[in-house]
Amino acid sequence: MSVELPARLRSATVPSHGILEGTRVLRRLPDGVEERPYELFTVRPLGRVIGAEIGGVDLAEPLTPALREELNRALLEWKVLFFRDQDITPAQQRAFAAHWGELETNPFIPQGDTEHVTRFARSASAPAFENIWHVDVTFRPNPALGSVLRLIEVPPLGGDTLWADMAAAYDNLPEDVRARIDGLTAVHDFIPGFARFSDPDFLARHQDAFPPVEHPVVRTHPETGRRTLFVNQAFTTHIVGLDRDESDRLLRYLFSRAHIPELQVRFAWRPGSVAFWDNRATQHYAVNDYHPHARVAERVAIAGDRPF
């Protein structure tokens, strides 16, 4: 990771684990997969490697097998899909998500009025705490496959959400770092992500139900086969087998990979907007810049499998 300076230049200290300028590897599709057109809807890319707006799909209507298959192909290609002008109920949102598997809820987030729908109601009296790069529920043995998020009340300014492509993040790691982390596992725990904003007694009641779990630092996406960086600042506590200082240094560097703008997409919400993301391939960040205005959203999460 060190940078060697030509002999004619004065000596200088260059950080060994920084975000260096230069060309990025911007690979959207797995090797060997060719880009194909979509026949049942339009696709408007919002980012180079991640994020596309889908047109011509009404989420209030049941999906045909062909439409579900094509949307899944788009999800694997773009990692997060955006739908505008969707007038849907929580039950219809849940029905759409259920096309991708069993649904799950998060015991640390308030439930909405419909089963399997969690509600994020943010205001001056209930500040947001999702403004950190994270992957949902990696403290579970089987983290979520993905989520469908619908904004109910949109602030007049701000409240965007960003996603980062963590397969592209892995592609852009230096070779020595990839060699260092391949085969390593890391511990994930719900405590760091919720301790600063939740009642300690409430969290203590859930400790036995949610013990720390280990996941690979680099997971393999079960559908695309791509290698994906799978540690996140909200829930990853340390890397197994490394002393604390070395683990902290390496994790700080790996966490920072989500911060690279070329690997991100930023979405400005409007009433009727819906986002559907692949939790196996991305991290996301909810921008907390809209207070004292309210921001209310409802989310349906799809159960996933054990990372490998």
Amino acid at 300: V
- pLDDT tens per residue, range 215-268: 999 999 999 999 999 999 999 999 999 999 999 999 999 999 999 999 999 999
Identify whether 136 is a catalytic site residue.
yes
**pLDDT number for residue 155:** 95
Residues 6+ apart with CB under 8 A from 65: none
Provide mean pLDDT across the span 97-125.
89
Identify whether 270 is a catalytic site residue.
no
- pLDDT tens per residue, range 16-32: 666 678 899 999 999 99
> Is the confidence at residue 13, as pLDDT, over 70?
no
Most trustworthy range by pLDDT among 66-80, 127-141, 200-214: 66-80
From the candidates 28, 134, 188, 257, which is the catalytic residue?
134
Question: Mean pLDDT over all residues of the chain?
Answer: 93
Identify whether 221 is a catalytic site residue.
no
From the candidates 140, 221, 284, 295, which is the catalytic residue?
284
**pLDDT number for residue 200:** 83
Angstrom distance (rounded) from CA 269 to CA 152? 10
> Is the confidence at residue 1, as pLDDT, over 80?
no
Question: What does DSSP say about strands 80-83 and 274-278: parallel, antiparallel, or unpaired?
Answer: antiparallel
Residues 6+ apart with CB under 8 A from 244: 238
Angstrom distance (rounded) from CA 293 to CA 31? 45
**pLDDT number for residue 130:** 82
* Residue in the block written with tokens 């300076």: 5
- pLDDT tens per residue, range 161-180: 999 999 999 999 999 999 99
Angstrom distance (rounded) from CA 297 to CA 277? 15
**pLDDT number for residue 124:** 67
Identify whether 208 is a catalytic site residue.
no
> Is the confidence at residue 15, as pLDDT, over 70?
no
> Is the confidence at residue 126, as pLDDT, over 80?
no
**pLDDT number for residue 18:** 66
Percent of the chain past pLDDT 70, that is, above it, reads: 94
* Residue in the block written with tokens 């070329």: 262
Residue 279 banded pLDDT, cuts 50, 70, 90: very high
Least confident of 15-29, 105-119, 152-166, 263-277: 15-29
246: Cα within 13 Å, side-chain hemisphere: 8
Residue 306 banded pLDDT, cuts 50, 70, 90: very high
